Structure 1
């Protein structure tokens, strides 16, 4: 059901790769809610993914850009403003990748060149996007910028690796730039800390299936899906959240406020029973 939350608004969506992508869902829902959008991703991601299908369905152009390249971003913002005939209203940053994770390097054995790339792609690109948009005065007053993050920025979660550091930096950028852009143009900047989600990137995290199961058992509402996340992000693009900025907003079914659920405790107890039985049999 559509509510016309974004009627008359225009936005730029980074990171849609395929139907599993949260950015893909955000793009679809934004158009359903009345927005016009421009889609962007790296040239290689455009070739590997199916973003052209999304573009056709959303009647949106696809503009290739490497979000780590200021030159590419300047061209992207210029072309987006040309397409819209002026400023636009929102940006989604849904970008993240760790070469260390992809190469199987654990956190205690990082390749530091890879780490630099992780930080540049997954966090510093957010700063670059905001800085270019601000310098070009591309976003309307009371506009909204949202980036996707994860609770590993606050808590240690085995297997999330150097992406946890990147997400912590991403959230800091939202706060620091949120003050500047909010003071000057009333543009709000927030991060959404989403449940573990089986996107293409998410599936590369060590132990992702176990993490999904654990979060599902602990969260009182269960894990939030990509489509659920899209609905939440749209409220942050809308005029209903005009005074929400510099926040890290958890969208995780309550996981972030939990210690141990009854389901998880029961499973833990059963595991202990098996362990004790194994010990007894070995004696």
Structure 2
């Protein structure tokens, strides 16, 4: 169902790779709500993914750009305004990658050159994007900018590695830039802390299945899906949230406020029983 929440608005969506991407779902929902969009990803991702399929479906222009390159970002914002005929009303930053995680380097044995890449791609690119947009005056008055984050920026999660540091930096950039851009142009900058979601990137995290199940058991509303995240992004892009800025917005079914749920405790207690059975399934006491 469409409510025309983004009718007449222009947006840029970073990070759509395939139909498992949250950015892909956001692009679809934004267009359903009346928006005109530009899709962007690295040139390699554009070739390897199926972004052309999404562009055709949404009548979007594809402008390849490396989000860590100021030159590419400058070209992107200039060309996007030309393609859509005006300033940009909303932007989604959905860019994240850890070489250390891909190489299975643990947090106490990081390769620092890999760490620098993690921070540049997953967080500093957000600052570069905002700085380029501001210098070009590419965002309209009251525009809305979102980046996707995760609760590991606030709490320690085994295996999330240096991405936790990147997400912490990402959220700090949203606050610091949010103050400046909000004061000068009423531009809103927020991050959405999403539940574990079966995307191409998320599924590459070691032990992701267990993390997903644990989060789902702990959350009173269950995990938020990619489609539900897209709905939330659309609301944040709309004029209904004109005074929301510099926030980390938890979209996780209540997980971030939980200590222990009944479902989680039941599963935890069950593990003790399972650990104390012999090969025939009989409980061993003592």
Q: Hey, what does 1:193 align to over in structure 2? A: 193
Secondary structure of the residue aligned to 2:63 is strand
3-state SS in 2 of match to 1:64: coil
Structure 1 position 277, deviation (Å): 4.4
Show the counterpart of 1:264: 264
Distance, in Å, in 1 between the alignment partners of 2:88 and 2:124 is 22
Q: Superposed, which structure 2 residues align to 1:1-283 within 5 Å? A: 1-277=1-277
Range that drifts further, 78-87 or 219-228: 78-87
TM superposition shift of 1:276: 4.0
- Cα distance between partner residues in 2 of 1:24 and 1:9: 18
* Per-residue deviation, 1:143: 0.5
Question: 1:159-196, CA deviations, whole angstroms, 9 ceiling, x for partnerless residues?
Answer: 11100000000000000000000000000000000000
2: CA distance, partners of 1:282 / 1:161 = 38
Shift of 1:81: 1.0
Structure 2 length as normaliser, TM-score? 0.97
Deviation per CA, 1:5-61: give whole Å up to 9, x if none: 000100000000000000000000000000000000001111110000000000011
- In 1, the alpha carbon distance for the partners of 2:85 and 2:31 equals 18
Deviation at 1:86, TM superposition (A): 2.2
Q: Distance in 1 between matches of 2:16 and 2:35?
A: 16
Mapped partners of 1:88, 1:210: distance in 2? 39
More deviation in 266-275 or 153-162?
Answer: 266-275
Aligned residues: 282
Distance 2:72 2:78 in 1: 10
Provide, for residues 220-259 of structure 1, a one-character-per-residue CA deviation record: whole Å limited to 9, x for no partner: 1100000000000111100000000000000000000111
CA distance in 2: counterparts of 1:85 and 1:225, whole angstroms? 33
Using the TM superposition, give the Cα deviation of residue 204 of structure 1 relative to its aligned residue in structure 2, in angstroms. Answer: 1.0
Looking at structure 2, the residues matched to 192 and 281 of structure 1 have their Cα atoms a distance apart, in angstroms, of 46
- Structure 1, unaligned stretches of length 5 or more? none
